[in-house]
Homo-oligomer: A and B are copies of this chain.
Amino acid sequence: MKQKILVVDDEPDAVELLEINLRSAGYEVVSASDGEEALKKARMLLPDLIVLDLMLPEVDGTEVCKILRRDVKTSGIPIIMLTAKAGEIDRVLGLELGADDYVTKPFSPRELVLRVKRLLRVAQQDETKSDRIEWKELAVDIPRHQATVKGKSVDLTATEFKLLTVLAQRRGRVQSREQLLHDVWQYDNLIDTRTVDTHMRRLREKLGSAAKYLDTVRGVGYRFVED
């Protein structure tokens, strides 16, 4: 599953340079050229990382950064700041803005890709979310990437595992197909919602007796039963 990166800069040249390099490093790239667009796309697409120029028309980069940090949905997304002056670094990284890293312009694409990789790895390690979910005979162990039913390990594919994890983490609450596509497939809304059904079936089949915890809520979506 490709990781998604949002690039925000008003200079088309810089954006293009970044896009080319990030794409060839295997990332999916989305771009925005001003602060407003950046905020909108960040909230909609929930990228895995944001590369943000400090100087932007309309809403300034610093402002964008602060706003992203305030919103629960986006506050966890790593941000790399593009900045011209070395003197600004402390402010950028410090409490005021809370960026995760910076690169001074003009930057070498190589270095930027390197920092992107590093940040994504560090962010991945975070996993502040609970490591393990248990419900009756079903257990989901995230770091081991392993689900067990009555103590017996069940082989799930990456997608099935994630689907189960998302549902189990929101135990009791119904998740729409769109929501699931967003959370599990990282908002590749090019995908048909019926795909979710197919995966649910496969998941249920593999889970055997534990399939009863996966409820269909007709006309709404799916949920992990609570009782």
Chain A: residues with CB nearer than 8 A to chain B? 1, 17, 20-21, 78, 89-90, 93-95, 98-101, 106-111, 113-115, 117-126, 128, 143-145, 153, 157-159, 172-174, 176, 178-179, 182, 188-190, 217-220, 223, 226-227
* Contact in complex: A173, B143 (CB < 8 Å): yes
Q: How far is the CA of A173 from the CA of B127 in the complex (A)?
A: 13
Complex contacts, A223 vs chain B, CB 8 Å: 144-145
Would A123 and B114 count as touching, CB distance under 8 A? yes
Smallest CB-CB separation from A173: which chain B residue? Answer: B143
Instruction: Please report the C-alpha to C-alpha distance between residue A32 and residue B95 in the assembled complex, in whole angstroms.
Output: 21
6 A-B pairs in the complex with CB atoms less than 8 angstroms apart: A17-B94, A100-B110, A114-B126, A124-B176, A144-B226, A159-B219
CA distance A223 to B145 in the complex (A): 10
Known contacts A94-B109, A95-B20; is-contact A174 B189 (Cβ 8 Å): no
Q: Is the beta-carbon distance between B122 and A111 smaller than 8 angstroms?
A: yes
Check if A99 sits within 8 Å of B108, measured CB to CB.
Answer: yes
Closest to A221 in B: B145
Question: In the docked arrangement, what's the CA distance between A172 and B144, Å?
Answer: 6
* A210 CB, min distance to chain B CBs, angstroms: 19
Say yes or no: A108 contacts B101, CB within 8 Å: yes
Task: Say yes or no: B93 contacts A188, CB within 8 Å.
Answer: no
- Judge whether B190 and A113 touch: CB under 8 Å: yes
Look across to chain B and name the residue whose beta carbon is closest to the beta carbon of A99: B108
B145–A174 touching, CB < 8 Å: yes
Please name all residues of chain B whose beta carbon is closer than 8 Å to the beta carbon of A115 when the two chains form the complex: 122
What's the minimum C-beta distance from A197 to chain B, rounded to whole angstroms?
A: 15
Chain B contacts of A95 at CB under 8 A? 17, 20-21, 109
Known interface pairs A108-B101, A190-B110. Does A117 touch B178 (Cβ–Cβ under 8 Å)? Answer: yes
Report the minimum CB–CB distance from A213 to chain B (whole Å): 14
- Residues in chain B near residue A101, CB distance under 8 A: 108, 111
Residues of B within 8 A of A120 (CB): 178
Alpha-carbon distance between A98 and B109 when the two chains are bound, in angstroms: 8
Out of B144, B178, B190, name the residue touching A114 (CB < 8 Å): B190
Residues of B close to A20: CB separation below 8 A: 95
